[in-house]
Amino acid sequence: METLQQMGAGFGVAFTPENLLFVFIGVLAGTVIGILPGLGPMSAIALMIPIAFGMDPTTAIIMLAGVYYGAIFGGSTSSILLNAPGVAGTVATSFDGYPMARKGAAGKALAIAAIASFTGGTIGVVLLMLIAPALSSFAVSFGPADYFALMVLGLTAVVTLGGRNITKGLIAAVAGVMVSLVGIDSQTATLRFTFGMPELYEGVKFLIVALGLFALAEVFSMLARRGAGGADGAMSSLRLNRRELGRIAGPTGRGSILGFFTGVLPGAGATVASFLSYSMEKRIAKDGDTFGSGNPKGVAAPEAGNNAAAVGSFVPMLTLGVPGSGTTAILLGALLVLGVTPGPMMLSDRPEMFWGLVASMYVGNIVLLVLNLPLIPLFAKVLKTPRAVLIPLVVVFCVVGVYGLSFSVFDLWLMLGFGVVGYLMRQNGFPAAPMILGLILGSMMERSMRQALQISYGDWTTFVTSPYSAALLGLTVVVLVWPLVKRLRKGAPATAAGAPAEGAEKEDTTTTP
């Protein structure tokens, strides 16, 4: 009952006119910035921090949180309409959202995304309120070996959804991890794979690879198709009938819960959550093989997952003072500047802030839904742009996104290079998603691996003696072997089935030699 009481006080904070206004501003700004390819929640929050200066800290964090989930929703809009996810967290949405848009169901896809986001966010907030304390104590007991195993699981789960050829998916994932290791090694300060170029010392930024592999490669294949086959902007109605709502109810619910718990685990944020929900639905659904060609469930699951995870990632940040993702790390930085130190004491010291934030998340979700559903036809106008105009504009947006981040022409060349590589990969059936995830997780994986081995004095069995880690690695093996078993049961040719098996074993030996 105490929780309810505090929640009531929280709503009192959230419903002051000033805070309501700033939730609205934050959500709107976040959505608009998130729609632009290349600008994600991180850049959106970073851009809004100067505006938050001088505000009351509670109002500031309420606004910045609004920017966060607004940007995630905006990112899914550009994923669906342009296949140009500006944010890693919405990459999975483009798998089915973009094919839906190309089939003329852009309106339905956006409406599903809006509803699933809303549901995911709301379920996430309820869970945050109910079980934040218990969950954070569980996450504390996660050791580095367990994190490593979790990330290996996330990566392999993505590979199995990257098309039928697991070998090509694994190659893409390994290549992604390789790219993530470029630069100065954080522990030993050794230069790795920089070819003597100082521009590479700090590593390859995620945004460059994402824009190259997704947006630029998409532009290349648009040109190769001669503009045929793209979504034509014929806007279907936004209305979903009851049957369609019934179809997405299950994926949305499961995605929300899975997404929230994934978001709570530090390191595994919206991206891993959306991929996990997507691949889980693909396995569960009876029509799982139509995923990737415009199945509404494939839009609902990752959207619910990434929004719930965005909420979930607030749990470790607010209760432990440990940011769970890059985005919450920026938020934490903003809070510190404003003179607030989140941590175990925050709940007792500044309850109005914690509960005000939770309440404003409810409000923000409603604002998001009210704001986005009517504006969807406006967003969809993007599709009516003639291809000949759109292609150069996408190139310019990519250039601005990368240059505005680093002011480096070298990074632009790098982006062009990744664009060419991305196009070649696409033409030859290599999925780009595992590569992106490998890039994001690669350096985190190495850090966890090092910490784990440091703790165990170099004993590699630590990865199987920790119960969580052993369970997660076991799950990884199941995820890799499952498609193989399914194929054998169908009686597919032995040559095709034998190859992924070898890859699977190999992958496993790297984690548990």
Segment 406 to 445, residues that bind another protein, using CB under 8 A: 407, 409, 412-413, 416, 419-420, 423-424, 426-429, 431-432
Stretch that binds another protein, among 123-131, 219-227, 337-345, 466-474 (CB under 8 A): 219-227
Among positions 11, 15, 206, 403, the unique one binding another protein when judged by CB under 8 A? 403
Select from 4, 82, 56 the least CA-distant residue to 379. Answer: 82
Select from 219, 170, 198 the least CA-distant residue to 395. Answer: 219
Residue 14 or 91 having the CB closest to another protein: 91
Select from 124, 340, 100, 359 the least CA-distant residue to 236. Answer: 100
Rounded to 5 degrees, φ, ψ at 183 are 115, -165
CA pair distance 466, 475, nearest whole angstrom: 14
Give the nearest distance from C-beta 171 to another protein in angstroms: 5
Bridge partners, residue 249, by sequence: none
Among positions 226, 243, 489, 490, the unique one binding another protein when judged by CB under 8 A? 226
Residue 400 or 485 having the CB closest to another protein: 400
Residues 6 or more apart in contact with residue 493 via CB below 8 angstroms: none
Asked if 87 is part of the footprint of another protein (rule: CB under 8 A), the reply reads no
Among positions 95, 147, 278, 463, the unique one binding another protein when judged by CB under 8 A? 95
CB atoms within 10 A of CB 222: 19
Asked if 281 is part of the footprint of another protein (rule: CB under 8 A), the reply reads no
CA pair distance 172, 209, nearest whole angstrom: 13
Contact 92, 302 (CB under 8 A): yes
Question: Environment class of residue 435 by beta-carbon count within 10 Å: exposed (0-12), middle (13-18) or buried (19+)?
Answer: buried
> Contacts with another protein in 241-260 (CB under 8 A)?
none
Stretch that binds another protein, among 16-24, 342-350, 478-486, 503-511 (CB under 8 A): 503-511
Asked if 146 is part of the footprint of another protein (rule: CB under 8 A), the reply reads no
Stretch that binds another protein, among 16-24, 97-105, 252-260, 354-362 (CB under 8 A): 97-105
Rounded to 5 degrees, φ, ψ at 191 are -80, 130
Stretch that binds another protein, among 70-78, 235-243, 320-328, 495-503 (CB under 8 A): 495-503
Size of the site for another protein (CB under 8 A): 84
Residue 165 or 236 having the CB closest to another protein: 165
Give the nearest distance from C-beta 413 to another protein in angstroms: 6
Residue 254 or 282 having the CB closest to another protein: 282
Q: Give SS3 for 190.
A: coil
Give the nearest distance from C-beta 376 to another protein in angstroms: 21
Give the nearest distance from C-beta 234 to another protein in angstroms: 16
Give the nearest distance from C-beta 269 to another protein in angstroms: 22
Among positions 150, 177, 248, 257, the unique one binding another protein when judged by CB under 8 A? 177
> Contacts with another protein in 15-44 (CB under 8 A)?
none
Select from 278, 314, 252 the least CA-distant residue to 41. Answer: 314
CA pair distance 116, 235, nearest whole angstrom: 20
CB atoms within 10 A of CB 449: 20
Contact 91, 274 (CB under 8 A): yes
Contact 302, 277 (CB under 8 A): yes
Asked if 303 is part of the footprint of another protein (rule: CB under 8 A), the reply reads no
CA pair distance 180, 177, nearest whole angstrom: 5
Residue 13 or 231 having the CB closest to another protein: 231
Contact 248, 300 (CB under 8 A): yes
Asked if 487 is part of the footprint of another protein (rule: CB under 8 A), the reply reads no
Asked if 477 is part of the footprint of another protein (rule: CB under 8 A), the reply reads no
Residues 6 or more apart in contact with residue 16 via CB below 8 angstroms: none
Among positions 9, 329, 481, 499, the unique one binding another protein when judged by CB under 8 A? 499
Residue 245 or 412 having the CB closest to another protein: 412
Give the nearest distance from C-beta 438 to another protein in angstroms: 10
Contact 279, 157 (CB under 8 A): yes
Residue 15 or 403 having the CB closest to another protein: 403
Give the nearest distance from C-beta 399 to another protein in angstroms: 7
> Contacts with another protein in 334-373 (CB under 8 A)?
none
Residue 140 or 393 having the CB closest to another protein: 393
Give the nearest distance from C-beta 258 to another protein in angstroms: 22
CA pair distance 84, 493, nearest whole angstrom: 36
Select from 311, 271, 376, 336 the least CA-distant residue to 40. Answer: 271
Asked if 465 is part of the footprint of another protein (rule: CB under 8 A), the reply reads no
CA pair distance 148, 167, nearest whole angstrom: 22
